[in-house]
Structure formats: structure tokens, C-alpha cells
Amino acid sequence: MKKSALYAGSFDPFTNGHLDIAKRALTIFDELTILLAVSPSKKNFMSMDERMHALEKLFHDDPRVKVDHWEGLVVDYVKEKQIQAIVRGLRPTGDFEMEFQMASANRKLNPDIETVFFVTGENLYYISSSLVKEIFNYGGDITKFVPQIIYEAMESKRK
């Protein structure tokens, strides 16, 4: 049986920190679904279609990666798709409490789901989607913070 995992987030935009977590998850899991989860409380910079297209393009050479979107509870998606684990990244910026709470709630909703935490790489821990958007909106250079394909997708919105 293949070991499958889900990496969910708004990924607006998908950063090099996210990419690091995804690549490292693929060293443990046979398949990884990157799920664009809808967060009603967030105002997105890129549309769902733009993010889906950019991520599909980013991972088009890796058949182990699937990109999808979902508007419900992540645990429901995991159950429906028979995925064994949820992957989450932890930065040393206060992520632990929120991530622990979310993992605990997910486990209560579905005791069969494991959450696997990856500590963000020491050279990427300060990167966040919010920071990238702020730098981008002020005309700063974000090429060190996002994959080239994501940068191109963001630049296309500027024109």
C-alpha cells in the first residue's frame, strides 16, 4: 500500500518554504496531495484557478504530486481520498500552538489520521506568504522567496 499524505493551505502564494516542506515530505511518503484549502477569513491575492494552475505547472514533472482544492474540512477530504497523513510545517515564529490545536482537533474528528510535522529549514523559517505579498505589493524583489513559476504567476497579475 502506498503511503500518501496531504499538504493543505491557502498557499497564496506558495513559497520556497512550502516547497521545502513538500520535497521533504516526498522523502517519506509515496504520494503527496497539495490541497488548496478555502479559508473564508482570508482575502486572496491570487484566485483559486491561478494558484491551481501555478502549482500544477510547478509540479508537472513529478507524478507523485497531485494538486487539488477543497472547500470543506480537510479531515473530510483526507477520509474521502483515503489519505493516511496530514503534513504541516513548523516555523519558530509561534506556529506550534496553532498547529498543535489543529492537529488535535483533526485527530478528534478522525482518529485514523496522523499529522506529521516538518520543522522549516533554517534558511527559510522567516518566509511567509503574507511577507511575500507585502514585499511584492511594494515593488520589492521576491525571487529569493518563491519558486520561479510562482514569481511569474504573481508578475502576470501586476501587468
Active site residues: 18, 42, 91, 129
Alpha carbon distances (Å) from 82 to 39, 73, 139: 23, 14, 43
3-state secondary structure 59-93: CCCCCCEEEEEECCCHHHHHHHHCCCEEEEEECCC
Place of cell 506556529: 95
Q: Which three cell numbers stand for residue 109?
A: 474528528
Q: Evaluate whether 90 touches 96 at the Cβ level (below 8 Å).
A: yes
Task: Tell me which H or E stretch contains 115.
Answer: strand 114-119
Alpha carbon distances (Å) from 31 to 13, 62, 128, 140: 22, 10, 25, 35
